[in-house]
Amino acid sequence: MPGSRDAVKGKSAKKPVPLRRDFEALKVRRLRAADMFRRGKSQAEVAQALGVSRESASKWYQLWNEGGRAALTGAGRAGRLPRLSDEQLADVIVALRRGPRVNGFPTDLWTLARVADVIEATTGVRYSQTQTWTILRDRLGWSRQRPTRRALERNEEAIANWVAKDWPRIKKAPGAEAPG
Protein backbone atom coordinates (compact mmCIF):
# COMPACT_ATOMS: atom_id res chain seq x y z
CA MET A 1 0.00 0.00 0.00
CA PRO A 2 1.77 3.20 -1.12
CA GLY A 3 2.34 5.75 1.57
CA SER A 4 1.24 3.44 4.40
CA ARG A 5 4.67 3.59 6.02
CA ASP A 6 4.43 7.39 6.09
CA ALA A 7 1.00 7.19 7.69
CA VAL A 8 2.36 4.92 10.42
CA LYS A 9 5.19 7.35 11.18
CA GLY A 10 2.72 10.22 11.42
CA LYS A 11 3.83 11.80 8.17
CA SER A 12 1.25 12.81 5.64
CA ALA A 13 1.74 11.97 2.00
CA LYS A 14 2.23 15.01 -0.19
CA LYS A 15 -1.06 16.03 -1.79
CA PRO A 16 -1.06 16.28 -5.57
CA VAL A 17 -1.46 19.81 -6.87
CA PRO A 18 -4.89 20.15 -8.51
CA LEU A 19 -4.97 21.15 -12.14
CA ARG A 20 -6.26 24.61 -12.94
CA ARG A 21 -9.67 24.69 -14.50
CA ASP A 22 -9.94 25.88 -18.08
CA PHE A 23 -12.65 28.51 -17.61
CA GLU A 24 -12.92 29.20 -21.33
CA ALA A 25 -13.59 25.52 -22.08
CA LEU A 26 -16.22 25.42 -19.33
CA LYS A 27 -17.91 28.49 -20.80
CA VAL A 28 -17.93 26.92 -24.28
CA ARG A 29 -19.54 23.79 -22.81
CA ARG A 30 -22.29 25.83 -21.10
CA LEU A 31 -22.96 27.75 -24.32
CA ARG A 32 -23.23 24.47 -26.23
CA ALA A 33 -25.84 23.42 -23.67
CA ALA A 34 -27.75 26.68 -24.32
CA ASP A 35 -27.75 25.95 -28.06
CA MET A 36 -28.99 22.41 -27.43
CA PHE A 37 -31.80 23.67 -25.17
CA ARG A 38 -32.79 26.16 -27.90
CA ARG A 39 -33.00 23.27 -30.40
CA GLY A 40 -35.37 21.43 -28.04
CA LYS A 41 -33.02 18.85 -26.51
CA SER A 42 -33.95 17.53 -23.07
CA GLN A 43 -31.82 18.04 -19.97
CA ALA A 44 -30.89 14.34 -19.97
CA GLU A 45 -29.74 14.52 -23.62
CA VAL A 46 -27.66 17.62 -22.89
CA ALA A 47 -26.10 15.99 -19.82
CA GLN A 48 -25.15 12.86 -21.76
CA ALA A 49 -23.89 14.70 -24.84
CA LEU A 50 -21.69 17.07 -22.82
CA GLY A 51 -20.57 14.54 -20.20
CA VAL A 52 -21.98 16.43 -17.21
CA SER A 53 -24.30 15.42 -14.39
CA ARG A 54 -28.04 15.77 -14.75
CA GLU A 55 -27.92 18.25 -11.86
CA SER A 56 -25.60 20.53 -13.84
CA ALA A 57 -27.80 20.25 -16.91
CA SER A 58 -30.83 21.10 -14.75
CA LYS A 59 -29.12 24.19 -13.28
CA TRP A 60 -28.05 25.30 -16.76
CA TYR A 61 -31.59 24.80 -18.07
CA GLN A 62 -33.03 26.96 -15.28
CA LEU A 63 -30.47 29.70 -15.96
CA TRP A 64 -31.07 29.49 -19.72
CA ASN A 65 -34.85 29.51 -19.24
CA GLU A 66 -34.68 32.64 -17.05
CA GLY A 67 -31.92 34.63 -18.78
CA GLY A 68 -31.24 33.07 -22.14
CA ARG A 69 -27.82 32.25 -23.54
CA ALA A 70 -26.23 35.24 -21.77
CA ALA A 71 -27.09 33.71 -18.38
CA LEU A 72 -24.68 30.84 -19.13
CA THR A 73 -21.72 32.90 -20.32
CA GLY A 74 -19.98 33.37 -16.97
CA ALA A 75 -19.94 31.32 -13.85
CA GLY A 76 -17.56 33.72 -12.12
CA ARG A 77 -14.15 32.93 -10.82
CA ALA A 78 -13.52 29.94 -8.61
CA GLY A 79 -12.14 30.51 -5.15
CA ARG A 80 -11.23 33.54 -3.13
CA LEU A 81 -9.90 36.68 -4.75
CA PRO A 82 -6.19 37.28 -4.08
CA ARG A 83 -5.46 39.91 -1.43
CA LEU A 84 -2.75 41.42 -3.66
CA SER A 85 -3.77 42.86 -7.01
CA ASP A 86 -1.47 42.53 -10.01
CA GLU A 87 -0.54 46.21 -9.65
CA GLN A 88 0.40 45.74 -5.99
CA LEU A 89 2.41 42.65 -6.91
CA ALA A 90 4.30 44.68 -9.52
CA ASP A 91 5.19 47.21 -6.79
CA VAL A 92 6.42 44.37 -4.58
CA ILE A 93 8.62 43.04 -7.39
CA VAL A 94 10.19 46.47 -7.84
CA ALA A 95 10.89 46.70 -4.10
CA LEU A 96 12.36 43.19 -3.95
CA ARG A 97 14.62 43.78 -6.95
CA ARG A 98 16.14 46.78 -5.17
CA GLY A 99 17.64 44.33 -2.69
CA PRO A 100 17.51 43.69 1.05
CA ARG A 101 19.86 46.52 2.07
CA VAL A 102 17.83 49.17 0.23
CA ASN A 103 14.76 47.82 2.04
CA GLY A 104 16.42 48.43 5.41
CA PHE A 105 17.95 45.03 6.22
CA PRO A 106 21.54 44.71 7.49
CA THR A 107 22.66 41.95 5.05
CA ASP A 108 22.15 41.04 1.40
CA LEU A 109 20.23 37.88 2.25
CA TRP A 110 16.50 37.52 1.59
CA THR A 111 14.43 35.43 3.99
CA LEU A 112 10.71 34.74 3.85
CA ALA A 113 10.21 36.93 6.92
CA ARG A 114 12.01 39.81 5.21
CA VAL A 115 10.01 39.35 2.00
CA ALA A 116 6.80 39.35 4.06
CA ASP A 117 7.94 42.60 5.71
CA VAL A 118 8.56 44.20 2.29
CA ILE A 119 5.14 43.06 1.05
CA GLU A 120 3.52 44.60 4.12
CA ALA A 121 5.51 47.83 3.84
CA THR A 122 4.68 48.14 0.13
CA THR A 123 1.01 47.12 0.15
CA GLY A 124 -0.21 47.12 3.75
CA VAL A 125 -1.11 43.42 3.46
CA ARG A 126 0.53 41.04 5.97
CA TYR A 127 1.29 37.45 4.96
CA SER A 128 2.71 34.53 6.93
CA GLN A 129 5.96 32.98 5.74
CA THR A 130 4.04 30.08 4.19
CA GLN A 131 1.76 32.43 2.27
CA THR A 132 4.79 34.51 1.24
CA TRP A 133 6.48 31.42 -0.19
CA THR A 134 3.29 30.57 -2.12
CA ILE A 135 3.24 34.07 -3.64
CA LEU A 136 6.91 33.87 -4.62
CA ARG A 137 6.57 30.41 -6.13
CA ASP A 138 3.08 30.39 -7.66
CA ARG A 139 2.36 34.00 -8.61
CA LEU A 140 5.88 35.17 -9.42
CA GLY A 141 7.43 31.89 -10.55
CA TRP A 142 10.49 32.50 -8.35
CA SER A 143 12.47 29.71 -6.72
CA ARG A 144 14.65 29.35 -3.64
CA GLN A 145 18.22 30.41 -4.20
CA ARG A 146 21.06 29.86 -1.77
CA PRO A 147 24.20 31.96 -1.81
CA THR A 148 27.51 30.22 -2.43
CA ARG A 149 29.26 29.60 0.86
CA ARG A 150 32.73 31.07 0.91
CA ALA A 151 35.01 31.80 3.79
CA LEU A 152 35.25 35.46 4.72
CA GLU A 153 39.03 35.04 4.88
CA ARG A 154 39.19 33.62 1.33
CA ASN A 155 42.15 35.00 -0.57
CA GLU A 156 41.62 34.64 -4.34
CA GLU A 157 45.20 35.65 -5.12
CA ALA A 158 46.67 32.99 -2.82
CA ILE A 159 44.33 30.34 -4.31
CA ALA A 160 45.36 31.26 -7.87
CA ASN A 161 49.02 31.14 -6.81
CA TRP A 162 48.56 27.68 -5.25
CA VAL A 163 46.79 26.34 -8.36
CA ALA A 164 49.52 27.74 -10.63
CA LYS A 165 52.62 26.73 -8.59
CA ASP A 166 51.89 24.09 -5.95
CA TRP A 167 49.22 22.01 -7.67
CA PRO A 168 51.36 21.02 -10.71
CA ARG A 169 54.11 19.87 -8.29
CA ILE A 170 51.63 17.87 -6.18
CA LYS A 171 49.97 16.43 -9.26
CA LYS A 172 53.28 14.87 -10.37
CA ALA A 173 53.55 12.97 -7.09
CA PRO A 174 52.59 9.26 -7.26
CA GLY A 175 48.96 8.55 -6.37
CA ALA A 176 47.74 12.15 -6.73
CA GLU A 177 45.13 12.26 -9.52
CA ALA A 178 42.90 15.17 -8.57
CA PRO A 179 42.90 18.06 -6.11
CA GLY A 180 40.96 17.68 -2.88
Say if 106 falls within a structural domain.
yes
Average pLDDT taken over every residue of the chain? 83
Say if 17 falls within a structural domain.
no
Confidence label for 80 from pLDDT (cuts 50, 70 and 90): confident
In a shared domain, residues 108 and 133: yes
Q: How high is the pLDDT of residue 165?
A: 87
* Domain count of the fold of the chain: 2
In a shared domain, residues 123 and 90: yes
Between CA 95 and CA 115 the distance in angstroms is: 10
Single out the residue of 33, 15, 36 nearest to residue 73, CA to CA: 33
Exposed/middle/buried for residue 45 (C-beta within 10 Å: 0-12, 13-18, 19+)? middle
**Are residues 114 and 105 in contact, defined by beta-carbon separation less than 8 angstroms?**
yes
pLDDT average, residue stretch 81-99:
92
In a shared domain, residues 27 and 66: yes
Phi, psi of 87 (to 5 degrees): -65, -45
Between CA 131 and CA 128 the distance in angstroms is: 5
Q: Which domain holds residue 39?
A: 23-72
Say if 97 falls within a structural domain.
yes
Q: How high is the pLDDT of residue 180?
A: 53
Q: What is the DSSP string of 26-90?
A: HHHHHHHHHHHHHTT--HHHHHHHHT--HHHHHHHHHHHHHH-GGGGS----SSPPPSS-HHHHH
Q: pLDDT of 97-146, one tens digit each? A: 999 999 999 998 899 999 999 999 999 999 999 999 999 999 988 888 87
Lowest mean pLDDT among 18-27, 91-100, 109-118: 18-27
pLDDT average, residue stretch 58-76:
87
pLDDT average, residue stretch 146-171:
84
